[in-house]
Amino acid sequence: MKPLNIVLVEPQIPQNTGNISRTCAATGARLHLVGPMGFTVDDKKLKRAGLDYWHLLDITYYEGLTDFFARNEGPFYYFTTKAPQRYTDVAYPDGAYLVFGREDAGLPEALLVENQEACVRLPMIPDARSLNLSNTVAVGVYEALRQRDFAGLLDTGRLRGYEWK
């Protein structure tokens, strides 16, 4: 089974990218960072949010969208508040790329218009501008994993001082 791919296009807030890195590490998803970014990868805010999960992370860096698309074949799904369909209306195949834009601007509208059938959104009330990027990524990741029945992930936990019946 091919891993899920999470793509951040021009992320600006290191804490968001750190949280997303941790989500990717904990779920086995690959992280793709498309520049230019609003921080450096040695930013301590980024590392702090990712904590001790960096050794579990599969991460690739790109100079820009042209570089990213030249090196990857998709299928691509674009998460945007402007999309005409819900993220739950799509079946995410193995190896899918979930693509997310800048915290302050989203993805380029030209890219969205060219790929309307692959644009998805999380439903919100009319007056809400958007969810936090790291929350949106987590929702998208877990929907794609749910569709795979969470293959390869532990689905039970252990108590420290007790036993489950």
Sequence spans of domains, the chain: 5-147
What is the C-alpha separation between 109 and 73, in angstroms, rounded?
A: 20
pLDDT tens, residue by residue, 76-104: 999 999 999 999 999 999 999 999 999 99
Return the pLDDT at 4: 98
Mean pLDDT of 155-163: 92
Mean pLDDT of 52-64: 88
Superfamily of chain region 5-147: SPOUT methyltransferase, trefoil knot domain (3.40.1280.10)
pTM for the whole structure: 0.93
**122 labeled part of a ligand binding site:** yes
**38 labeled part of a ligand binding site:** no
Structure tokens at 48: 């702090």
Q: At 71, give phi and psi (nearest 5°).
A: -105, 0
Structure tokens at 129: 């501008």
**101 labeled part of a ligand binding site:** yes
